[in-house]
Structures are given as structure tokens and as C-alpha cells.
Structure 1
Amino acid sequence: MSLLIVEPFYGGSHKQLVDLLQEELEDCVLYTLPAKKWHWRARTSALYFSQNIPISEQYRILFASSVLNLTELAALRPDLGKLKKILYFHENQLIYPVKKYQERDFQYGYNQILSCLVADVVVFNSVFNMESFLTSIGKFMKLIPDHRPRDLESIIRPKCQVIYFPIRFPDVSREHDKDPESFFKVLMHLKDLRLNFHVSVLGETFTDVPDVFSESKKALGSSVIHWGYLPSKDDYFQVLCMADVVISTAKHEFFGVAMLEAVYCGCYPLCPKDLVYPEIFPAEYLYSTPEQLSKRLQIFCKRPDIVRKHLYKGEMTPFSWAALHGKFRSLLTTEPREDL
């Protein structure tokens, strides 16, 4: 139990990462909370974990996602505060989309900044995630009306690094923030043009589901093959292997696990020329406007052989667990400290 993993939002990519670490790394223990009510997890999970993680002299490293208020946990549990503390950013709250900048809850981003100051190592899943966070600190802190702290970016940056999210690719032969409105609008346009296509809409459903999902499912009718969450990872990969094209219309994305999994299964990716995507995918697979996306899809509907014969021109290996496990092992192992 030298490695203590704490995950307040145990679902999606957060769950995928810590499950992988627990399976692949020796001598670790995992404490989690269900992936519900994200805002409350960010606000209160530190107090819960402070009461429910047993005291142990075996812990040497604390690894947590940035949903956790690491500052509060370290203060409430000084024994955990002494550990080597590693904070992993799947996403950051300084640029997370909100309808109006004034609506952004200052506390979530502020908590992440404080957690970085307390952490010994801060790890981001992409360069885009790291730079968008660090370069936004100054502007974000200007929201404070007076007596603002200074030089936070220069204090935090030296302890930051990027380790891509590790994907255990399968053995195969081949949320509102994802902007479903744009996605379904493009599909309905294809249908209006009487182009032949089939679509699978896969993903986990949380509390709030936009009306556009149910409306689009009805409107797309027989074009829909699969709709909704597939609990079996094998079934999920099977659907990906049947597909020809995978589309992202995300308004925000800090890595894109699902897109890379689909590409590994043989799909041709179409992603916004924005966010993390230019860091991950070659320019050929990026679009700038919904109109560009629609035109590409119209061509593919008329000539599906283009994508079925296509060989992906990007790199997949750098994102695999096989390539990244050495970095994670190095990060999550440490020599015993004399003061422990």
C-alpha cells in the first residue's frame, strides 16, 4: 500500500486511468466516490476522504485527480500531507466552457490552483491542457477585487509535466460540452440531402440529458444502429470496429480517449481544428467549420470506399500503455523519505 490513489469522480476516463494503474502497479490502494454530482465532489470530497482513508504508515505517494481539493485533504490529514503528492489533470476549470464568463464559479479554478501549490508534482494529460491552465492563471486571479496573489504561474510551472493519458488498446483487427447540437445538425443535413448513412451514438448518460438527443434519435429513425451506453467494453469496441468514421464536435477537449480508441479500431477521425486535437491528430483529420465537416461527410457518404481503404497517417503508439507505463512507474515510485 505504498501508493494511495484517491479519485473523487470514479467514472469515464478518471475511472479508466486509476483502474489501469491499480491493475498494473504493485502495492497500491484505491479510494473513490461515484461519478455523480461533479460540483459537490469538487467542493466536499476532501472532507469525506479525510474521514474514510485509514491511517497507515505504509503510504509513500498520494496520487489524485484535480477534482480533489488536495489542499483541504493535506490540511485535514497531516499524515497524508507529508506524502509525495501527485496531482493529475484530466481537465482544468480555468478554461472549462460556461455560457457567460461571469457565470464561472471562481471556487473550482481557485481550488485547482491551490492544489497545484500544495502538490509536489502536477501532471497534465496534454500540452494543451497544461498551457491553457498555466497561461490562464494570471487572468483568472484578476477576478479577485484586491490584494491579489502574485507570480503563481512561475511558482507552479516548474513542478508541471505532461504524461499523455495511457490507453490500453484492444486486441482488434481494426456530455453537453461535446456540443451535440452541432453534431446532430450536420447529421440531419445529410439526411435532408437523402444521403445514405448509419450512426451509432455511444456514451455514458449522466443526470442532465439535452433534449436534442431524444429529438434527434426520433428524427434519424432507421439510420440509428446503436444509441446510448454500452456497459461491456468488448461490445463498445465491436461497434467501433463496425464504423467507418468517428466525429467530434467538442467545444472543449483536453485529451480525447474515445476518439483515439475509435481510430485504433479503424475509424477515420474528423475533429475540430482546435483544443487538443491539433496536438493529437494530423491536419488532414481536422475541420474548421461545421460546413467543412458537412462537406467531408457528404463525400464519405457518396464514396465510403475512401475511408474504408484509408490508412491512418498519425501515430497511435505514444498514447498506449505500453509506451507510457515506464513514465508512470517512474512517477509513482519513490525512495522512502526519512521524515515518514
Structure 2
Amino acid sequence: MKFLFIETFSIGSHALFANGLVAHSTHTIDLIEMSGENYRWRMLGAALYMAGTIPNIDKYDGIIVTDLFNLADFKALVGAKCPPVMVYFHENQLTYPQPIGDKSVFMLGMINITTALAADMVLFNSTMHKNAFLKAIPEFLNRGRDFTPKGIAEKIRQKSNVLYPGITLPPFSKVDSQKQTDPPLIVWNHRWGFDKNHPLFFNVLEKLQEQGFDFQLALMGENFGKIPKEFLAAQHIFKDKIVQFGYVPSRAEYIKWLKQGTIVISTAIQENFGMSVIEAIIMGCIPLLPNRLSYPEILPEEFHEQFLYQNKYDLIEKLSHTISDVAAYEETRNKLVKEMASFLWENVIKDFDLSLEQLVMR
């Protein structure tokens, strides 16, 4: 079968997912990409642009889009020749924490809702994400002054499913020979955005530094715009501990840092899946994650007590214990690596291919 993947925000997890699906699927998938910037404009205008630039759209058996796209506009513009469409939700604007004063929130949230309604199949990257989005719809629509639509969440629920995105990494081997444990290397491989809550991360590290713990830091992840002030301050506070500062564009170099890493920490206030965390775990990093968001879902239950923290003080305690005796986690870490390898593309692609086939048969 032949599919068209329209990715209007090709950066980070969006780009990894699109290219991973294209590379591993048994079906033929043509990929059209737009650069990963101006996401509001992508949601507002990409459909108009794409509808006028894709030739012979009816030659495809199906189309794949993601949540930063106005599918309702696109289908209206393309008309009856539009093949069935699957939308994959990496995030949504209803539950995503928004900057104060952002007046576009309601409009972008409506685009997410109409996109899900217009789709023939809706996939989410976690059960937590699906449930949060569907739960948020009635309250969101009640913001309207009158003529509030009813039953929208249930209509979307009936055609929704969950498929975890595949992880693109080389096979796990010989990682231990590159692992840095003396002093331990703490990895930050998340975006430098406010929703990842880096102030808490640096605050916790300051507490450990004051207590005399020795560690090193690799501060990676993408950053858009100005460098946040907390990262600039960290350059001074941890000047003798930082071994990498800034985004690593080379995938091979990025993986090299993960292989060296000892511990990966998340302090996020928003996370629908956790691709960067899973990448680090598969490469042998010990995770310390908040006991909320998608993390209790993606981390096997047997590891919850050790690696999910309840609050800042629990994180400090767990991190200090881990740094003090990294060797004690060796057996658990190796077991965790094997468990999380279930997210690699070769282990999830059959489910995606089956969903694409089901899309065509609808």
C-alpha cells in the first residue's frame, strides 16, 4: 500500500517519528516535511498550502498527519478525492500548559478538536494523553457562550487508539565500556522550554552540590530563541561540572553522550510520552522521573518505587542515593534496558502497519 505522510513541524520527536515510520514500515510512505518553526502558523496555514501543492493525491491509499495541522480545512479544500486520513497526536493545545496572555489558545484548541473529528482514525502516543485530551474537550467547548456542541469527545473516542512511537537507536551493545560513573554523568536531554521545568532541575543539583556530592553534567536538548536565564546561571554555578552545554545536532554524537551518561532526570510539568527519557534509558541511564504524566505508564511497574519520585525532596533523596552508590543499580539497570527496548521501532512497527491497513479498509 502507498501512503502520504504530511509532517508540518519536522523537528525533534515529530521528525524522529515521521522518519522512523517511513524507514521501518513495510508499506511505501512518501514524506512531505515543513520546518519545525512557527507552530501556530503551521496549524493555521499549512493545510491551505498543502492542499494547493500536492499533485495526484488520490494515488495514495491513505494519508498520515500529526496534531499541528488543520485536517478539517485540508479535507474541505481537497474534496472527495482525499484518501482516508490518520492523525497522530504527539501533543494537544487543550492540555498543553500555555504562556500567560496567549490569545491564540482557544483557536488552536478548536483546530485540534476539528482535526480529530475530521480524521478517519486517531492515534495518541500514550493512554494518559488520550484520556487527558478527551476529558478536556467538554470543559473546553463550554467556554463558548451558547450552542455548545455535545457528544464530541465520544465521537472522537470511538475512532481513537494508542500506539507508542518507535524509538530510533542502534542495538544496545558495549554500552558499559563507555559508561561514566566516577563521577556520575547526569544527563539533561530535553527541550529547554518552560514546560520541562528546568528551574527545579537546577535547584535540586545546587542542593546536591552544597552537600558535597560530585557529579558532571551534559546539558543537551533543543532550544528555541534566547537561552533561558537558568541555563546561563548554571554555566557559572556548575562551571567545573558541565562537560556538554547546548543542543547536539549530530545523532551519533548525541547517542555517544547517552552511552556515557549515568543518570537521566525529568522535572517536566508536561509530557505525553517521554521519547528523550526512553532513549537515555535504553542507552543505560538510570531514570529519575516524576510520578505523574506519562511516566508511570511507560516505566514498568516493578521500577516505580525506585525511579519515580513524589516531590522535590523525594527527588533529592533518590538522586543522592543513586550518586552515592551507582554500582548497586547495575543489575536493575540492565534489566530496565531490556524492558524499554520494547519501544524500538523493530518492536512496534507491526502495530503501525496494521493500523495503516485498517485505515484503508474503513
Same fold (TM over 0.5): yes
The separation in 2 between residues aligned to 1:336 and 1:270, in whole angstroms, is 41
The separation in 2 between residues aligned to 1:39 and 1:56, in whole angstroms, is 25
Task: Tell me which residue corresponds to 1:280.
Answer: 298
Letter of the 2:277 partner, please give it: M
Task: Tell me which residue corresponds to 2:348.
Answer: 324
Q: Find 2:315's aligned residue among 267, 271, 293.
A: 293
> Are the equivalent residues in 1 in contact too, given 2:219–2:244 (CA < 8 A)?
yes
Listed one character per residue, the Cα deviations across residues 111-144 of structure 1 (whole Å, up to 9, x for unaligned) are 1110111100000010001000011111111111
Task: Tell me which residue corresponds to 1:124.
Answer: 124
Q: Once structures 1 and 2 are overlaid, which stretch shifts more, 195-204 or 328-337?
A: 328-337
Task: Tell me which residue corresponds to 1:137.
Answer: 137
> Are the equivalent residues in 2 in contact too, given 1:126–1:254 (CA < 8 A)?
yes
TM-score, normalised relative to structure 2: 0.88
Task: Tell me which residue corresponds to 1:97.
Answer: 97
* Correspondence 1:184-223 to 2 at 5 A: 184-223=202-241
Q: Which runs of 5+ in 1 are unaligned?
A: none
Task: Tell me which residue corresponds to 1:59.
Answer: 60
TM-score, normalised relative to structure 1: 0.93
**Taking structure 1 as reference, are residues 335 and 121 closer, same or farther at Cα in structure 2, changes over 3 Å only?**
closer
Task: Tell me which residue corresponds to 1:305.
Answer: 327
**Taking structure 1 as reference, are residues 156 and 62 closer, same or farther at Cα in structure 2, changes over 3 Å only?**
same
**Taking structure 1 as reference, are residues 308 and 103 closer, same or farther at Cα in structure 2, changes over 3 Å only?**
farther
The alpha carbon displacement at 1:320 in A equals: 2.0
**Taking structure 1 as reference, are residues 261 and 336 closer, same or farther at Cα in structure 2, changes over 3 Å only?**
closer
| Cα RMSD for the two superposed structures | 2.1
* Correspondence 1:232-251 to 2 at 5 A: 232-251=250-269
Q: Secondary structure in 1 aligned to 2:292?
A: coil
The alpha carbon displacement at 1:98 in A equals: 2.4
Q: Secondary structure in 2 aligned to 1:135?
A: helix
The separation in 1 between residues aligned to 2:80 and 2:354, in whole angstroms, is 23
The alpha carbon displacement at 1:189 in A equals: 1.4
> Are the equivalent residues in 1 in contact too, given 2:5–2:32 (CA < 8 A)?
yes
> Are the equivalent residues in 1 in contact too, given 2:98–2:105 (CA < 8 A)?
no
**Taking structure 1 as reference, are residues 71 and 255 closer, same or farther at Cα in structure 2, changes over 3 Å only?**
same
Counting matched residue pairs gives 337
**Taking structure 1 as reference, are residues 37 and 270 closer, same or farther at Cα in structure 2, changes over 3 Å only?**
same
The alpha carbon displacement at 1:250 in A equals: 0.6
The alpha carbon displacement at 1:172 in A equals: 3.2
> Are the equivalent residues in 1 in contact too, given 2:21–2:349 (CA < 8 A)?
no
Q: Secondary structure in 1 aligned to 2:200?
A: helix
Identity within the alignment, %: 31
The alpha carbon displacement at 1:169 in A equals: 3.0
The separation in 2 between residues aligned to 1:208 and 1:114, in whole angstroms, is 33
**Taking structure 1 as reference, are residues 336 and 16 closer, same or farther at Cα in structure 2, changes over 3 Å only?**
closer
Letter of the 2:343 partner, please give it: F
Task: Tell me which residue corresponds to 2:281.
Answer: 263
The alpha carbon displacement at 1:275 in A equals: 0.4
**Taking structure 1 as reference, are residues 12 and 297 closer, same or farther at Cα in structure 2, changes over 3 Å only?**
same
Letter of the 2:20 partner, please give it: L
